[in-house]
Structure 1
Amino acid sequence: IKKPVIRFIKEVWHFRTKPILVVLDPQGKVVSPNAIHMMWIWGSTAFPFTSLREEALWREETWRLDLLVDGIDPTVLTWIKEEKYIFLYGGDDIEWIRRFVNSARSVASASRIPLEMVYVGKSNKREQVKKVTGIINAEKLSYAWQDQAMVWFFWSRLESMLFSKIQLGRGDDQDPMLQQIKKLLSYGREGGWAVLSRGSNIAVNGHSSTVLPALGGYDEWKINVAEKGFDGAFKDYHDKLHDAAHPCCRFEFPNTIRIPDNMRCPECPRLMEKYTAFLCCHDEQGIPGSLF
């Protein structure tokens, strides 16, 4: 490859070291600057992998649990079909996990609802996640993804959702789904978190600092379960706690995407501060072929 071509690929297509997938039409026109993200999110459904197709797929999407776990775990998809209450949770603080799981089981038992829980790790700290998964298994705390490839794929798809929106120029609009994606990505790096759904309908996407206290306050909101349902009553109480305690949010971007000039915090309307970071994950070998 000649030097001008290499320069073009680096400067115009923003290729550095991570794989990108630029899609051209039969006339050689770029129809997607990087289709990697839509491939991770929708697979072959995204064909012919153009930006127009990407836009159309987003218009059809809603913030739902099967969007988060699609193609990863048939067990969770079965729970969704059975309309069970589901806690998808993560983090690396085993003490918080123990308290969270025990509180969730106690509250579910008191409310007489079918509750399932699945641990999906963190977006980083792979070795710590493996250790926590081992403890969860040994103590039979909940179901947990044993295969680290599943954990990696979950977080890679979630990152791809954010990067796809940014690539389409939707990185900082008032899209409620985008705000939830940003929250979950931030929670995945900062402490524990949990997502509560009934079937596919997500009710709460919360940080450890609010989810556990909300469960602990069951006596205050249990009276509303009969009228609003377990998920509705929990959401109302959790949202009150959330309004009083906003966890910090942060995002890290690889150099394979166009980093937005600014980004609003998903927890509050403020513009986030921008920093330059240097990162070494020598203890996080990752999975061969990792994109992020």
Structure 2
Amino acid sequence: MQVVSLNPQLTIKINYMGSNVKVGSTILGDNICDATSDTPMMSWFMWARLRSTFLSRIKFLDQTCCDEDDDEIVEGLKKMLAYEAKDLAVDGWAMLCKGNKIVVCDLGDTMLTVMNEYEKWKESAIVKGFDQAFKDHHEMLSRSIYASKHHPCCALDYPCNFDKVPEIVKCPQCYYNMQKFVTFRCHHDILDDEGSN
């Protein structure tokens, strides 16, 4: 990773939310950024809260007769929840926020590429601001990545007892229709791991 020289008036805060013990230890040891607890239980709770928020939002939109396909919050939550898939969890993901607004959220390698290509968009950052220039460069880069259909597998889980499981869901990465599977999942291993420590 290359070091990027940014505007000295720009303050960037980084927070690691993963469950990788090695990464968490390095972050804490080198004081690179803030890190949440690196226990699998904390990671599980984060994803559980996101799933709960996602399902609550869909129910709310259904009750108010709004279309979830046009809802920015649902789309953002779908994208976040797709990162929980094992294929994506290995590579990681990153989110750029400004205040309480999410500017960009994507896979870690794509976000890192945008940062490493800072020289290509730094003039735009002076004119448009860091967040908008980052977003513009990210969108340009994403179009070329997803046009080739080479992105990791995305998954989006709906509980089987949920009132409104859609027949068709578009991939939050490439926007093609996703395949539908039935999955059986057990989470007791996380609780057992916690209990044995």
TM-score, L = length of structure 1: 0.53
Partner of 1:203: 103
Matched, 1:228 2:128: yes
Q: Which residue number corresponds to residue 265 of structure 1?
A: 171
The secondary structure found in structure 1 opposite 2:190 is coil
2:73 to 150, 166, 177: 177
Looking at structure 2, the residues matched to 249 and 139 of structure 1 have their Cα atoms a distance apart, in angstroms, of: 32
Query: Is 1:211–1:238's contact at 8 Å kept on the other side of the alignment?
Result: yes
Report the equivalent of 1:276: 182
Q: Highest CA radius of gyration, 1 or 2?
A: 1
CA deviations 1:77-128 (Å, max 9, x no partner) are xxxxxxxxxxxxxxxxxxxxxx4xxx5xx33x4332211100112xxxxxx5
Per-residue Cα deviation, 1:27-75 (whole angstroms, up to 9, x for no partner):
xxxxxxxxxxxxxxxxxxxxxxxxxxxxxxxxxxxxxxxxxxxxxxxxx
User: Which residue, 147, 153, 157 being the options, matches 2:49?
Assistant: 157
State the Cα distance separating 1:281 from its structure 2 match. Answer: 4.6
Structure 2 regions of 5+ residues with no counterpart? Answer: none
Higher RCO, Cα 8 Å, sep 6+: 1
1:282 Cα deviation from its structure 2 partner: 5.5
- Percent identical among aligned pairs is 33
What one-letter code is carried by the residue in structure 2 that aligns with 1:198? K
Quote the offset at 1:205 in angstroms.
1.1
AA paired with 1:276? V
8 A Cα contact 2:84 2:155, kept in partner: no
Map 1:76-225 onto structure 2 (within 5 A): 99=1, 103=2, 106-107=3-4, 109-112=5-8, 113-121=10-18, 128-146=19-37, 148=39, 151-168=43-60, 169=62, 172-189=68-85, 190=88, 191-225=91-125
* SS class of match (1:202): strand
Counterpart of 1:185 in structure 2: which amino acid? Answer: L
Counterpart Cα distance in 2 of 1:175 and 1:286? 38
Query: How many residue pairs are counted as aligned between the two chains?
Result: 178
Unaligned runs of 5+ in 1: 1-98, 122-127
The answer to whether the 8 Å contact 1:165/1:171 transfers is no
Shifted more, 191-200 versus 210-219: the winner is 191-200
Alignment partner of 1:195: what SS? strand
Q: Secondary structure at the match of 1:173?
A: helix
